[in-house]
Structure 1
């Protein structure tokens, strides 16, 4: 397999071609896609016949939209283990090689061909407690006999927590497990955060607390990049703005502006505003640029449902995304100012701030 060239595919149609030279992955749209498709990343990759080459390298030479297809955290750990297990020549391990390993098993709707499958088939089903124990082995750098199974079912996943992609009630779900720093109650905590967010009027997918014999339960969330067995194109704020989520360089005002630019819909902006308020009052401070995404469906962009909502900290205990420039101790005044700076109605902002504060303080008091 030539890991210096890959075709990018969407719903069985060729979007374009990636070519990797001098540590940069250039991209060119396919002619038919230009005539009938859409821009997969409006700022960096507008529909054009030109060859696009990244001008800077926050993503190892990839454009952000293709970096979104690669895992980080848990998924990246699994990928590295599977590469090591198969004794792959290190000279072959480029970002395009990693994309080729994932092939059609990526998050979102973009796929990559030719695909190179390096994991062994493992169709033996495990229950969630068994999967959790195998995840612990991998986190502890111990040998697991389920590595191929885990990579097949979670190799494209993001975030620090181990997780698995599962079918549940004929739908696609993500089920999360505790990492080495989490308490035994992390599953029920994230579940209760999701219920609170719904009560606050925040759009969030269906969630479920899956039973366990070893802990209060495992948190599960329905995948929003899948709809009726169809893959939905997805782009994080990190990808769209070509900025690493490891760099805390965004403010929520930037996210409101990005939302309006993409959606042209003030109701979508209000959704993002509600999420900002929830994150502040619920102490969800790991609010980096990969934790905000947009979906392209029915020929339009929209804010994705909220995800990764739980008590958390980021750099130095601050918010990864600032609120009116404040990351350590944002106030209600800061929340209001972000809304006013965008142009939202004062009464709307005050109402949302007070409503979400009251709900969060009541429903999540034991975590705050």
Structure 2
């Protein structure tokens, strides 16, 4: 079913209008900036270069953007000459979440996945040089992905997975580390998708996570789930350190109308602080829309790693602080969101103890 129509406004920013049938049978794909009503919405120039956040979420960044630009150059096209509508067409049906873009301008040369160690070697080659013999393979497997780390989107036993590979800045055992942290997150009560450590002859293994924006399996219908990041909803760039957990709590309550979702976010905040994941930017929190119930919910956790951040500061502030965060600061954010103070303290102390016992405790300074 057609959601709506995109074009470039005279201001050279994106313009969007919902399709007539979607207005009757659909839902708002981004409630704060694109409410479900007729008329044309025109994006602001900043901070997303003339894009609406929900469509910016579909655009590959980091690794996926690198692959796209390399593929364009391989075809003799200057990446700087390619505008947002063309880039969305390149995403086509392969983006994260449920949105698809037509007409599609595929650059996929119909290649097939190969051995994970071979893919890791091609990723390393591409990061070190401007060329890789496996560029077509890498683009087909990961050209629509976001995030800085090399990765592929693939199918395993009828289910869709994301498998990550080390970047040039990562330790060789980064996959093993992220897997251990994902299991620790589950022990701390954080909602997580299934994760695995895939075997390797080159390193301790490659971290993989089952996609939560896809449901269904070998014997069940495959369905895409609409997903929007916090940055997409707030129309802000994840490259700006302008987020705080208090704002995320208010966004979660407004969108989900659920104290349970706020408590899930509270657990995630505590875990990020104690694990030392300071890369808690606006694209590392997302929301999923349940069409059957007509409800939004906070997504499972993802991209949970030890990350020192910029100047050892959290990208998302906690009670106004980027460092030196105390249990009192965590509790203040939680109680303002409607969670009982005693419960906030209990959750924070429990997560701190579990993280410390696992040997991951970060400096709070």
**TM-score under structure 1 length normalisation:** 0.94
Check whether the contact 2:238–2:282 (CA below 8 A) recurs between aligned residues.
Answer: yes
Q: Are positions 1:98 and 2:87 aligned together?
A: yes
Match of 1:196 in 2: 184
Report the equivalent of 1:287. Answer: 280
Q: Distance in 2 between matches of 1:60 and 1:138?
A: 27
Kindly report which structure 2 residues correspond to 1:111-122, keeping only aligned pairs within 5 A, or say none.
111-122=100-111
Instruction: Say whether the 8 Å CA contact 2:262–2:337 is kept in structure 1.
Output: no
Deviation at 1:91, TM superposition (A): 7.6
User: Which consecutive residues of structure 2, in runs of 5 or more, have no partner in the other structure?
Assistant: 217-221
Aligned to 1:345: 340
Residue in structure 1 matching 2:7, options 2, 19, 33? 19
8 Å CA contact 2:45, 2:51 repeated in 1: no
1:145 and 2:133 matched? yes
Deviation of 1:268 (Å): 0.8
Check the 8 A contact 2:274/2:362 in 1, yes or no.
Answer: no
Tell me, what secondary structure is at the counterpart of 1:338?
A: helix
Moved more, 112-121 or 254-263: 112-121
**Residue 243 of structure 1: SS of its match in structure 2?**
coil
More off after superposition, 130-139 vs 50-59: 50-59
**2:207 paired with 1:214:** no
1:122 is displaced (CA, Å) by 1.7
- Which whole-Å CA distance do the structure 1 matches of 2:16 and 2:205 have between them? 44
1:193–1:364: 8 Å Cα contact kept in structure 2? no
Change (3 A) 1:56 1:143: closer
Q: Pick from 4, 12, 33: which aligns with 1:44?
A: 33
Question: What is the rounded CA distance, in whole Å, between the counterparts of 1:89 and 1:344 in structure 2?
Answer: 52
Q: Is the 8 A contact 1:23 1:60 kept in 2?
A: no
1:323 aligns with 2:329: no
SS at match of 1:317: coil
1:324 Cα shift?
A: 0.2
Instruction: Name the counterpart of 2:251.
Output: 258
Name the SS for the 1:315 alignment partner: coil
- 1-side partners of 2:201 and 2:271: how far apart? 32
Tell me by how many angstroms 1:109 deviates: 0.4
Residue 359 of structure 1 aligns to a residue whose secondary structure is helix
Report the aligned-residue RMSD.
Answer: 1.4
Deviation (angstroms), 1:314 = 1.9
5 Å matches for 1:1-80? 13-21=1-9, 22-80=11-69
3-state SS, counterpart of residue 295 of structure 1: strand
2:238 counterpart of 1:238: no
Is contact 2:13-2:45 (8 Å) kept?
Answer: no
Match of 2:219 in 1: none
Cα pair distance change 1:304/1:48, threshold 3 Å:
same
* Equivalent position of 1:310 in the other structure: 305
Given that 2:28 and 2:35 are in contact with CA atoms closer than 8 Å, whether structure 1 keeps it comes out as yes
SS in 1 for 2:324: coil
SS for the counterpart of 1:113 is: coil
2:295 is matched with 300
Count of matched residue positions in the alignment of Structure 1 and Structure 2: 355
Give the gaps of 5 or more residues in structure 1: 1-12
Q: How much does 1:341 deviate?
A: 2.0
Residue 223 of structure 1 aligns with which residue? 211
2:360 to 336, 348, 365: 365
Q: CA deviation at 1:44?
A: 0.4
